Amino acid sequence: MTAHSRQSGPHSPGSADLPRVGIPDELAGRMSMPEQHAYLRAKLSRRGALRTSVATAGAVAGAGLLAGSASATAHPAGPVTAPATGQVSGAFVAPFGRHLAFGADPRTQMRISWQVPFAVRRPYVRIGLKPWQLSRKIEAEVRDLHTPALSSKLPAVEQYYLHAALDGLRPGTTYYYGVGHDGFDPTEPSRLSTIGSFRTAPARSEEFVFTAFGDQGVSYHALANDQVILGQNPSFHLHAGDICYADSSGRGAATDVYDARVWDQFLAQTESVAARVPWMVTTGNHDMEAWYSPNGYGGQRARWTLPENGPDPRESPGVYSFTYGNVGVVALDANDVSYEITANLGYSGGRQTAWLDRRLGELRRTRGIDFVVVFFHHCAYSTTSAHASDGGVRDAWVPLFDKHQVDLVINGHNHVYERTDALRGGAVAKTVPIGETVDPARDGIVYVTAGGAGKALYSFPVPDSFEGHVKDLDSVHTYHWVKGTQKSEEEVEWSRVRYTGFSFLAVAARGGAHPRLQVTTLAETGERVDHFDIVRRRRHGHH
């Protein structure tokens, strides 16, 4: 993210020139997300900015909402023209921003989502086992977002998000798909280049790779990272929040600048990867968007379809879990526990943390799962000058990670790469230099900050130390956030690897008699800057 706590932190480049939502500064720092939502709705209603039939982020099934013009089966010659009061023919509306996500069971469920720039009739997905044989047709669900002109410098925006749920798929199988609507059939010869593919999770454990980062946004570096990720051929990708930065400051403040059009840019940028690699996201502080819903996640629910097995999918869309091969993955929403950015602090009433305790226990008891990976936004352990560590995360969740012997924790929030030694109870249990192997059950947990996905980089208070450039330090003077959005200084010994650059994680998972996660950090150039291995002793009944 580019900004920042109410007390301090780097300033968002250019944010001073952007229009502000009209909430007095003296109120902004004290308002929770529900209070901001109510304020904006009331103020814009008084201005007459709301239409009589505004559609918010709730799912609207069928095509009645998006009643576009009559379908067309052929492409008329000449330029596309329409009267100012007319609607564009579906033949001229090309889908974009395709992104995949697993359902709760990645072996049999896939969710396909995309966007159209104008209203269309009867959107759908075609799928099949061959690209020239897309015989199965699934109707898409329509989720329309209306964003009013939140300032004189921003236009009102209509966004149309389409989603199709694919269930009953075969494990370990490659499927081909095309998205369309009346007037745009992906099986037409001129549309065949729009056909994509995906592979379901295997029925039994096999070697695979997944990738991860946080804090992406829209930039050259974000795009470069995406293409290097695609080269890893990952089975899925984890995005640890702060997805596109349509919300400018990320403070959860009522004065945040919000431009919904940035989502269009982001989804178009990400399509080259996300159309074939399930893009599993969670919520960061920049992903709280006050206009759409009281907790700020109405826009999130409109744009993404994620597993609905968390404590409350409508309240917490970024909280869920899934299993791929021998790895169990848990996504969390750290806005619920953050001491630094408190707009949504405690919004789940403890339900998320209780669910986390239960879910980690279930995964640890599940036959065939060797490794448990948890990802979320705010850092449990980081030393950057911008945000450092969040004591709320430490208080709420680190004891549970220790209790259930989580194998790897991945965070974003700080726009750098940083890795700890193996920790237990917040203290170093084993030093883990570059290339070392760690057994979490015996040695403790490694925490990784992977926030170098594409937004402007932060800085460390001490020199970088990474592969080929090692500068080990006995300790680092830093701080963590405590209750009351206050900083508490501390001297830490756990900062093992630091890299100020754009980067991401690539994790190779292996099962068998000697399960292993090979964790590699790659710069956007493809250069390796860190690597270490996580091993587990085989437990009873694994296969």
Rounded-to-integer distance, Cα 331 and Cα 238, Å: 9
Predicted local confidence at residue 24, as pLDDT: 57
Per-residue b or e along 100-124, where b marks 16 or more CB atoms closer than 10 Å to that residue's CB: bbbbebbbbbbbbbbbbbbbbbbbb
Which of 419, 363, 435, 423 has its CA nearest to residue 394? 423
Rounded-to-integer distance, Cα 498 and Cα 489, Å: 19
**Strand 174-180 with 196-199, pairing:** antiparallel
Predicted local confidence at residue 38, as pLDDT: 86
Which of 227, 335, 232 has its CA nearest to residue 282? 335
Please give the CATH number for the structural domain made up of 61-74+89-197.
2.60.40.380
CATH code 3.60.21.10 region(s) in the chain: 15-24+208-512+526-535
Predicted local confidence at residue 30, as pLDDT: 73
Predicted local confidence at residue 237, as pLDDT: 98
CATH code 2.60.40.380 region(s) in the chain: 61-74+89-197
Contact 450, 417 (CB under 8 A): yes
Contact 253, 309 (CB under 8 A): no
Convert the pLDDT of each residue in 421-476 to its tens digit. 999 999 999 999 999 999 999 999 999 999 999 999 999 999 999 999 999 999 99
Predicted local confidence at residue 248, as pLDDT: 79
Please give the CATH number for the structural domain made up of 15-24+208-512+526-535.
3.60.21.10
Predicted local confidence at residue 253, as pLDDT: 62
Predicted local confidence at residue 153, as pLDDT: 81
Predicted local confidence at residue 31, as pLDDT: 82
| Under-50 pLDDT residues of the chain | 1-21, 49-85, 540-543
CA distances from 215 to 31, 243, 299, 450, 484 (A): 24, 6, 18, 8, 25
Per-residue b or e along 40-77, where b marks 16 or more CB atoms closer than 10 Å to that residue's CB: bbeebeeeeeeeeeebbbeebeebeebebbebeeeeee
